[in-house]
Structure 1
């Protein structure tokens, strides 16, 4: 079933919507949550919680891209669960990748309205980058992949992936500064 049909099921409040969403995207959702969380039960709970949230938000929300909407929801649920599980315990790869990104992206509280404009600015920046650099960036900061995993995906050395990321963060910081987002 395609995404438009699934979204229509949500709009009609048809319970098959969740089953179809799960059938189509469960593996991807578990992958995203699994890159943030390590416990299988937490991953499953996070993914199910995301399905429930999507059920509650469509309607009134009407996402243009159901897959991205769901992935964003899963990632946020996983991050919330991670924060809950690791209050005061900071040592995972995912925390490291978030700390790296914090060097160049200003901190905006969710719900302030500015996060959407910031996300659009980051998307515009990524569209200006070459494909490999963009993919490495997305694998690290969206999917939470380790440098070793990224290097394996693209047949490059870990050090090369780290260099790409360092340079892209530097460019992103400059780009955002020109767009009016001052990190300092």
Structure 2
């Protein structure tokens, strides 16, 4: 079933929309949540929360790209669940990738920075990168894959992947400065 039809089902408050969403994107959602959360129960709770949230958001939201919209919600819910579960302890896998990005991307919650504008600038930056660099960056910071998994996927050395990510973050930081996002 295509995304427009699923969105239309949500607008019509047809409960089958959730079933269709799970059939089409359930494995992807599970993959994203599992890269952030380690306990199966937490992953299931996160995904149930996502489906409930989507049900309440469409309408009024009108996503142009259902897959991206859904992935963003899954990622944010999983991060929220991780923060809740580990208020005093840190999950090294995710916190390392978040710490890496914190070196070059300003925290929009602590500064007067429009999130949408920052998101558009980062997307523009990624479109300027070659395909392999862009995919490595997205797998690390969007899907939460660890470096060893990325290295295996691209048949690269882990050190090469880490260097690639470091250089891409450095370029991103410079790009953000040129766009008016001074950040230290």
Question: TM-score, normalising length from structure 2?
Answer: 0.97
Which residue of 2 is the match for residue 146 of structure 1?
146
Provide the rounded CA distance (Å) in 1 between the counterparts of 2:129 and 2:74: 26
Deviation for aligned residue 1:182: 1.2
Which residue of 1 is the match for residue 178 of structure 2?
178
Which residue of 2 is the match for residue 82 of structure 1?
82
Deviation for aligned residue 1:12: 0.6
Provide the rounded CA distance (Å) in 1 between the counterparts of 2:163 and 2:4: 40
Poorly superposed stretches of 4+, deviation over 6 Å:
none
Deviation for aligned residue 1:113: 7.0
Provide the rounded CA distance (Å) in 2 between the counterparts of 1:180 and 1:71: 28
- Which stretches in structure 2 are left out of the alignment for 5+ residues? none
- Which stretches in structure 1 are left out of the alignment for 5+ residues? none
Deviation for aligned residue 1:93: 1.2
Provide the rounded CA distance (Å) in 2 between the counterparts of 1:53 and 1:7: 14
Distance change (3 Å), C-alpha of 1:38 and 1:88: same
1:20 aligns with 2:57: no
Provide the rounded CA distance (Å) in 1 between the counterparts of 2:175 and 2:72: 23
Provide the rounded CA distance (Å) in 1 between the counterparts of 2:121 and 2:66: 21
Residue 105 of structure 2: SS of its match in structure 1?
coil
Provide the rounded CA distance (Å) in 1 between the counterparts of 2:49 and 2:109: 22
Deviation for aligned residue 1:33: 0.2
Write the mapping of 1:153-164 to structure 2, written as runs, cut at 5 A. 153-164=153-164
Q: What do you get for the CA RMSD once the two structures are aligned?
A: 1.2
Aligned residues: 183
1:103 aligns with 2:78: no
Provide the rounded CA distance (Å) in 1 between the counterparts of 2:151 and 2:113: 36
Question: TM-score, normalising length from structure 1?
Answer: 0.97
